[in-house]
Structure 1
Amino acid sequence: MYVILVYDIICDEKGRKILPKVFKICKKYLVHIQNSVFEGNLSKANSLALQKELDVYIRKDKDSVIMFHTREERWMNKDFLGKTDDKTSNFL
């Protein structure tokens, strides 16, 4: 499956320590394309492994990771980790 992953880590004192760890985990599985954006093809097993590794560091009340999964470009599913703020829900 093709995945686009975006993350937002609050850069408070703890966040500055979390940010490089999240970046390194994402880079292990996907291609870094822009600041906090990654993309690439993942198997279902690798997608779950990536989510499990990130879940260790993401603070549920402050940080967020969104993974867009698609087999075809016109269909997409989103998985939210941490704080959910769906700003794309207004898209037609």
Structure 2
Amino acid sequence: MYVIVVYDVDVKRVSKVHRFLRTHLHWRQNSVFEGEVTRAQLYEIKRTLEDLIEDNDSVLIYELPGSNFTLHVIGTDKSPVGEII
């Protein structure tokens, strides 16, 4: 499945959340990651994020059934998906 993760966490935890998500997903722009994951990977992502964040933090995970969707970028695409190694 394809997921989009958007987060708003305290500045003290931003780098930890960013580093963790970067190991599983593609960074799109500030506080936004996306990518194809398995159910097991999604479970691990959720579990780890629950451990990293605190009560006032927020993480949104959008699950899409597949990667068949259209992305419209207005302005500069800060991190094109084509850059994935």
Which TM-score applies when normalising by structure 1? 0.68
RMSD: 1.4
1:82 corresponds in structure 2 to none
Whole-angstrom distance in 2 between the partners of 1:58 and 1:10: 8
How far residue 57 of structure 1 moved from its aligned partner, in angstroms, is: 1.3
User: What does residue 30 of structure 2 align with?
Assistant: 35
Of 18, 30, 49, 1:54 maps to 49
Task: Give the gaps of 5 or more residues in structure 1.
Answer: 75-92
Aligned length: 68
Superimposed CA distance per residue, residues 6-27 of structure 1 (whole angstroms, 9 cap, x where no aligned partner)? 000133xxxx2x1111001110
Tell me the equivalent position of 2:61: 67
1:9 aligns with 2:6: no
- Aligned-partner residue type, residue 27 of structure 1: R
Moved over 4 A (4+): none
Larger strand share, 1 or 2: 1
Distance across 2 between alignment mates of 1:19 and 1:38: 13
Write the distance in 1 (CA, Å) between the matches of 2:45 and 2:10.
Answer: 20
**Could you state the TM-score of these two structures normalised by the residue count of structure 2?**
0.74
Gaps of 5+ in 2: 70-85
CA deviation string 1:39-74 (max 9, x = no partner): 0000000000011111111112x1010000011567
